């Protein structure tokens, strides 16, 4: 997927792990029924919006700089976001519940200008790739270790952390299968199949 960007003059060095998005809200979400009509801040991503809609929620794209205030004022009922970003932006201080829904997985591709890359000699390119690999490994381990600490810290602060039982989680997975069809003509089906197989593993 990263290679497809090269024709736009971008090189993808590799992916770092932001993690799964979970629901921070001011009402408990323990089931699909609880999720229905939840007014939730989403990104502007069409796929992200489609996933939340498939779960019965009312996704509302809001600029990042306005998110804290809109949550605090009750303009939206919650936000679908990864644990690290939510915690370091203190969203747990203005929401009462966190549902570990894992609604969307968020890898981030680290980009490099192809024009700048082509000006480097092979040794310099090697230094960059070696440095990236060290950073990538550190970032992934730190991100995942932080998640356990964040959950424990939020519980101490009185936030109710809701874990969906396996049978309920299966209902959420089933509800979002329609999203694949919605974007079928925009996504390489062979790549999609590989991603689905990886998720199953």
Full pLDDT tens readout for the chain, 201 residues: 788 888 999 999 999 988 899 999 999 999 999 999 999 999 899 999 999 999 999 999 999 999 999 999 999 999 999 999 999 999 999 999 999 999 988 889 999 999 999 999 999 999 999 999 999 999 999 998 999 999 999 999 999 999 999 999 999 999 998 898 888 888 888 888 888 788 778
Q: Which tokens in the block code for residue 101?
A: 């829904």
Sorted by where each starts, the structural domains of the chain and their CATH numbers stand as: 10-178 (3.40.190.170)
Residue where the block lists tokens 């070696």:
130
Q: What is the pLDDT of residue 185?
A: 86
Distance, CA of 59 to CA of 78 (rounded, Å):
10
Alpha helices in 55-183 (DSSP H): 67-73, 83-88, 114-118, 122-156, 166-175, 178-182
Distance, CA of 200 to CA of 196 (rounded, Å):
6
Distance, CA of 66 to CA of 87 (rounded, Å):
16
In this structure, what are the phi and psi dihedrals at residue 44, rounded to the nearest 5 degrees? -90, 0
């Amino acid at each position: 997927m990263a290679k497809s960007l090269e024709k736009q003059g971008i090189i993808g060095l590799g992916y770092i792990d932001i993690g799964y998005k979970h629901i921070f809200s001011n009402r408990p979400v323990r089931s699909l029924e609880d999720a229905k009509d939840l007014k939730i801040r989403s990104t502007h991503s069409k796929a992200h919006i489609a996933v939340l809609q498939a779960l019965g929620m009312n996704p509302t794209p809001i600029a990042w700089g306005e998110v804290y205030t809109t949550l605090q004022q009750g303009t939206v009922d919650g936000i679908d976001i990864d644990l690290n970003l939510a915690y370091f932006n203190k969203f747990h201080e203005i929401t009462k519940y966190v549902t570990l829904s894992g609604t969307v997985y968020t890898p981030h591709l680290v980009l490099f200008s192809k024009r700048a890359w082509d000006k480097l000699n092979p040794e310099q390119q090697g230094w960059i790739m070696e440095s990236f690999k060290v950073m990538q490994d550190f970032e992934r381990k730190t991100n995942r270790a932080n998640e356990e600490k964040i959950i424990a810290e939020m519980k101490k602060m009185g936030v109710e952390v809701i874990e969906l039982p396996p049978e309920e989680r299966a209902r959420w997975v089933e509800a979002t299968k329609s999203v694949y069809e919605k974007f079928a003509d925009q996504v390489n089906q062979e790549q999609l199949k590989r991603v689905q197989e990886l998720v199953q593993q």
